[in-house]
Amino acid sequence: MKNQNNKVTAVLFVVTLALAPMVQAQQEALRPPPTSLVRPTPTAAYEGASENSEAPEVQNLPAITIHSADNVIRGKTGSFVLNMKPALMFGGTYVNFSIGGTAVAGVDYVAVASPAYLGSSGYGTILIQTLPDPRGLSNRQSYSVVITLQSGAGYALGNPGSAVMWIKP
C-alpha cells in the first residue's frame, strides 16, 4: 500500500509541474501591466497641449474652488466657502481673491481684505458682514458681491473660480 501511495503522489507531482507553466501564463495574460513600467514618451505627455495649458508641475498642486453659502439679508452675515482638494496634511494655505459686484464696500458691507486662509481640513470661509442700507427705505434694491479667486503660490485655481452672493433688502 505504501508503494501505491508513493506512485499516486509522484504522478500528482508530475502533473502539477506540467500544468504550472500553463496556469501561470494564463494568469499573467489576464493581469494588467504594472504602471511603473509604462512610461509615456515626452511627445505623448504634451500631446494636445496648447500654449495656455498648465505645466505638469502645476497639476500636482491642490485646486481651490469657491461657493456662496446663500444670499443674505441686510444686517446679517453671509459667507463664501473655499474648498481645497486635496487638503494639505500639515497646515493650510492662503488664497488671494478680489471682490467685485454692484455692492459697495463700506456702504453695503464691511470691507474684506485678501488673502483668505484655508486650514488643514481643506476648508475656509470669507465672511461678508452686511450694513444697514444708508440709501433709505425708498430704495429696495438687491446688490451683488462677487468674489473671484486669484492665482498664487502653492495652489491652482479650480472650477468654479468665482461666486456671487446677493445682499437682499
Query: Which domain covers residue 75, as residue numbers?
Result: 62-168
> Is the same domain home to 112 and 156?
yes
Q: What is the pTM of this model?
A: 0.64
- The answer to the question of residue 50 being in a domain is no
Residues 91 and 153 in one domain: yes
DSSP assignment string, the chain:
-HHHHHHHHHHHHHHHHHHHHHHHHHHHHHSPPPGGG----HHHHTTT--TTSPPTTGGGSPEEEEEE---EETTSEEEEEEEEESPPTT--EEE-EEEESSS-BTTTB----S-EEE-TTSEEEEEEEB---TT-TT----EEEEEEE--BTTBEE-S--EEEEEEE-
pLDDT tens per residue, range 19-51: 556 545 555 555 555 544 444 444 443 344 444
- Which pLDDT tens digit goes with each residue over 78-91? 999 999 999 888 88
